[in-house]
Amino acid sequence: MPNAPDQTIHHQLHINSYGHYLRRRFGCRVSKVNVDAGFTCPNRDGSKGVGGCVYCNNVSFSPKETLSAIPLEKQMADGMAYHRIRLGSEKFIIYFQKYTNTYGSTDLLADLYHRALDHPDVIGISVGTRPDSLTDEALELLTEIARTKYVCLELGLQSMDDGILERINRGHTRADFVAAVGRAAGRSFDLCAHLIHGFPGESRSDFLKTAHFMATLPIQSLKLHQLHAVEGTELAEWYRRGEFVPLTLHDYVTTVADFLELLPAEIAIQRLYGSAPLDICVAPRWGLKNNAMWFAIVNELGRRGSWQGCRAGEPL
């Protein structure tokens, strides 16, 4: 019988959910509000490559209200109003999401981040970026902000396999990610890693090894989602040519449940799935809404009588 769940685990959810983590830390309901600050990526503009990652179409995971043409403050106000009504949220983290949000001059970054933090109900920022686009100046800026505000730096790894990273046109290596985490650790802000499961050539065992890898890193949270193809991407063409066979819902749910059992309980889970608008989603089309996808995984842990971290450290 596994040991009793860690106190960080939400007993109904069987995981250390990020929402639960924020409520423990700040004493109220906190929501993330996505904004588009108009950044691009080094593997889109030619500095590292062109075309971007094979799966990337930002329309697929960004709310339609977040467009760089809309002033930052309006994006924030609209997002906060939505979460106040939907969830009763009291405080907010502004999430600089689209593309690479440290890929600009330090003056530009400082202006954007501080404008977000000027709102009295904003407790902090979350900044999504790449491990190869993190200058010393950007790190110092985030370190300074973290002295008075919450900061989460989100680093996209996606796969720990360098061969997969090369095939998906990611433009960085596993070593780049480890180096970036090392440079960012110990600076009084949270670190979040992004992972995707279901790449061609990746086995279930390969993915589960990533849980052990995550356990070796000084990260505080994690985002997971299934690989899915959307219109306007190279991955959609791979699917049509039979070069990408999506995971089944059952395979994804059971493998992620296994992954969570192996993942240390202190790592908060920000995301368990990805979704895309039906009009551009190519595959897989599982027919589940966001909450149903979340609870498919939570319910699998409940069916097993297990929880995040109950097998942490066990050999595969």
What would the two tokens of residue 288 be? 């589940």
| Beta-strand pair 122-129/91-96 | parallel
d(CA 3, CA 29): 30
Q: Which residues of the chain have pLDDT under 50?
A: 1, 60-62
DSSP string over 18-45: HHHHHHHHHSS-EEEEEE------TTTS
- Contacts of residue 155, defined as CB under 8 A and 6 or more positions apart, other chains included, come to 129, 130, 131, 134, 177, 180, 181, 184, 191, 192, 193, 194
pLDDT of residue 4: 57
Class of domain 18-304: alpha beta
d(CA 41, CA 198): 23
The 10s digit of each residue's pLDDT in 246-305 is 999 999 999 999 999 999 999 999 999 998 888 999 999 998 877 888 999 999 999 999
Q: Is 204:159 a contact under the CB 8 Å cutoff?
A: no
pLDDT of residue 66: 57
Beta bridge partners of 95: 34, 126
pLDDT of residue 65: 53
Residue with tokens 């990805």: 274
Residue with tokens 């990610």: 177
Main-chain phi, psi angles of 191, to 5 degrees: -120, 135
Environment class of residue 224 by beta-carbon count within 10 Å: exposed (0-12), middle (13-18) or buried (19+)? buried
pLDDT of residue 3: 58
